Amino acid sequence: MALKWYPGHMSKTKHDIENTKIVDAIVEVLDARAPSSSRGVFLNKFNKPIVLVLNKSDLACDILSKEWSVFFKNQNFEVLTAVSNLKSIRNRLLISLRKICRRNEIKSKFNKAFRVIVVGVPNSGKSSFINNILGKKRVKTENRPGVTLKNSWHVLDNELEICDTPGVLSPKINDDTEFKLNVLGVIKNTLYDREILALKLIDFLKRNEFLNDFLVNIFKNPDVLNLESNLILTKFAISRNLISPGGAENINLASEIFLNDFKKGKFGKITLETVT
């Protein structure tokens, strides 16, 4: 479907990436909870070596992250896993860049330093990832999409120069991908009804056997899987004492908290996609 939120800076970023000729390699930051949905497959056509970073891996299922890592490595990508507070990522990135450039017989055409462009979907953690590499906060970060609005170059030392870019999405994505990116906070959350999205997330957790345990653990009751999704959301509101002044459950607030708790990993380490 056509994405309803595709601001001008995102279109410009995609154009800049497609026309860039001044980089040695691409570092693509993925959300480890949805590696396939957060991949920009359009990057494959640029004939540049790509290092994939499974970011926010501390929020994702360890077993599935390993499976995705093997899957991407089998496609000839270098793959790193990262968490928000990881400090040793710089050396690992340099090793991966050298390895992939050597494999592709690429030497920097510009200077002794690798020139790398960092790309990814909005709110994938690109800027935090760059700050970890730089060792200080040079790039503004917030836990919402659309914070980085223009390209910015950062010189680390004589080994690495990094370009941070605004998040970019394909203007046309299918409903399943849109849903996953939505619940992960990639797509601006003011565009969708929170109750509908929370109900869709509950449906998704119920429908996928590998995620059933998370619903059971939230309520400490296996019978919850037999309830309709709207009743599960109501039980969640009651469990958090989210009651309106009139005595009814505050479903809007419950939906917001349910989605936020999911994004923050309070339900456990969840990956929404398996390798197929």
> What CA–CA distance (Å, rounded) separates 228 from 208?
15
> What CA–CA distance (Å, rounded) separates 226 from 98?
52
Is there a binding annotation on residue 38? no
Is there a binding annotation on residue 229? no
Centroid of chain to Cα 96: 20
> What CA–CA distance (Å, rounded) separates 106 from 153?
21
> What CA–CA distance (Å, rounded) separates 97 from 211?
35
CB of 123 closer than 8 Å to CB of 5: no
Q: Which two tokens stand for residue 67?
A: 């499976």
CB of 264 closer than 8 Å to CB of 183: no
Is there a binding annotation on residue 127? yes
Is there a binding annotation on residue 108? no
Is there a binding annotation on residue 57? yes
- Binding-site residues sit at 55-58, 123-128, 167
- Binding-site residues for GTP sit at 55-58, 123-128, 167
